[in-house]
Homo-oligomer: A and B are copies of this chain.
Amino acid sequence: MRKGKISDNVIRRLPRYLRKLDEMSADGYTRISSKVLGDAMGLTPSQIRQDLSCFGDFGQQGYGYNIASLRGEIANILAINRRLTAVLVGVGNIGQALAEHFSFALSGIQLIDAFDIRPEVVGTQFGNLTVKNADALEQVLDERHPDIAILCVSQESANETADFLVDHGILGIWNFTNVELTQKAKNVIVENLHFTDSLLVLSYYLSEKQKGKTAAERSQNQQ
């Protein structure tokens, strides 16, 4: 059904489509127009049609989109049904938040193991996962061939750990270290969650909207 190369912007909107469609499906809808979907997502109907046309012809004039089949196709594209496997490397605060609260199943990912070097963390239990000593990482990589490593180690060891993971066959790195991975990680897929970048973007839009006035200054002017 796929037509040519899909832009990164469209790809990054797909998870949002998925969430919207799930919500609408839960609310009992079976089909939806590009107008209603666009309103819900803050996009124009024509942008919706353009995005979705990348993946084949779902919409029918005057009928709209069938929610179940559109959802199915997007889930396919996002490889949700591939049962990719992941290991968590570094179980500090972020790692712990992921192990404890994050629903990997929602993304079709299976978290198979977690590792840390600190004795006080090794042995900690999260659901049916027990944090292993980092010494065991090499064997798990070589024997179970996880697809994804979730990198939550310290900034100092980020690149070194990434190199080790790539050397042992990891195909993708979900990078929470706030460090740009500049070495062997270049050969695999890296998805960064750079918190600083995100906060700076927020800061930009906020300043644009407020024409440079902070909330405190605005409040003073009103007095």
A189/B206 in contact, CB under 8 A: yes
In terms of DSSP, what is the predominant structure of the interface of chain A?
helix
- A56 in contact (CB, < 8 A): no
A215/B93 in contact, CB under 8 A: no
Q: How many copies does the complex hold?
A: 2
A82 and B203 contact, Cβ closer than 8 Å, known pairs A102-B195, A103-B196, A169-B215: yes
Distance from A29 Cβ to chain B, minimum over Cβ atoms (Å): 16
- A16 in contact (CB, < 8 A): yes
Bound form: Cα–Cα A85–B219 in Å: 14
- A216 in contact (CB, < 8 A): yes
Choose the segment among A30-38, A64-72, A131-139, A143-151 that binds chain B (4+ C-beta atoms closer than 8 Å).
A143-151
- A83 in contact (CB, < 8 A): yes
A215/B79 in contact, CB under 8 A: no
B80, B97, B147, B202: the one within 8 Å of A200 (CB) = B80
Name the CB-closest residue of B to A209. B189
A202/B172 in contact, CB under 8 A: yes
Bound form: Cα–Cα A82–B219 in Å: 16
> Could you give, for residues 92-107 of chain A, a 1 whenever the CB lies within 8 Å of some chain B CB and a 0 otherwise?
1110111011111011
A18: which B residues are within 8 A, CB to CB? 200
Name the CB-closest residue of B to A174. B202
B19, B84, B174, B203: the one within 8 Å of A214 (CB) = B84
> Could you give, for residues 57-94 of chain A, a 1 whenever the CB lies within 8 Å of some chain B CB and a 0 otherwise?
00000000000000000000111101111000000111
Q: Tell me the A142-182 residues at the B interface (CB within 8 Å).
A: 144-148, 169-172, 174, 180
A196: which B residues are within 8 A, CB to CB? 15, 102-103, 106-107
B204/A77 in contact, CB under 8 A: yes
A102: which B residues are within 8 A, CB to CB? 195-196
Bound form: Cα–Cα A197–B82 in Å: 16
